[in-house]
Amino acid sequence: MDIITHAGIFIYPLALCSFVAVFITIERLIALRTSRVMPASMVDAFISGNFSGIAVGGDSIAGRIARFYQERAPDADALKAYTRVEVSRMERGIFMLEVVIGAAPLIGLLGTVTGLTAVFSGFSAETGLPDPGAFIAGIALALNTTILGLAIAIPALAAHAYLLRRVESLAARIGLGVQALLQTKGV
């Protein structure tokens, strides 16, 4: 707990960065489950172009694309455009991880500079020696904010990379399904 208590005022923006990273990661992991994007029942329907007996719409992205296809009978460009909109919804919030990845180490660096400033301003003019209390507090602030900033940014970077790869993989599956759907339609 010393690491948190010695981070000074910088603990608040660092805690906010940490909360945002955890929230976005968990929310996107839940939203990008296969059952929420393209359930197994929809895969065969996309390939065959036959949605009879399958509930279209609902919570899945493939279901919304199938509903759009059935209700509007769009041309190929309209269906592809709607699919791009749905795929872009899968990326919702991931940009916030990029903000955390950039902001957390910079906040840590700001704490480092602030701590070192406190160290060097704590030297006595008469003796030329630093005040031990100010020296310890300044070094603690410098090191702890750096540690916290990196400890937040590194997992956020890993989550960001995983989530982007997951979106790309799911988007490729959806794209193949839409392409198969268009071929069955003869477009």
Q: What is the pLDDT of residue 24?
A: 96
**Domain count across the chain:** 1
149 close to 107: Cβ distance less than 8 angstroms: yes
143-177 pLDDT, tens digit each: 889 999 999 999 999 999 999 999 999 998 888 88
What DSSP character marks residue 60?
S
| Nearest to 24, CA basis, from 146, 169, 151, 157 | 157
How many percent of the chain have pLDDT more than 70? 89
- For range 29-58, the mean pLDDT: 77
- Domain enclosing residue 8, as ranges: 2-185
pLDDT above 70 (res 72): yes
User: Residue 99's pLDDT band (boundaries 50, 70, 90)?
Assistant: very high
- For range 5-9, the mean pLDDT: 76
- For range 57-75, the mean pLDDT: 81
Beta bridge mates, 123: 130
Model-level pTM greater than 0.75?
Answer: yes
Two structure tokens written together for 143: 């090191």
46 close to 66: Cβ distance less than 8 angstroms: yes
SS3 130: strand
The mean predicted confidence, pLDDT, of the chain is 85
109-141 pLDDT, tens digit each: 999 998 888 888 777 667 777 777 878 888 888
Find the Cα–Cα–Cα–Cα dihedral 10, 138, 117, 150, rounded to 10°.
-50
Q: What is the pLDDT of residue 26?
A: 96
Q: 45 or 89: whose pLDDT is higher?
A: 89
Q: What is the pLDDT of residue 125?
A: 67
Q: What is the pLDDT of residue 123?
A: 72
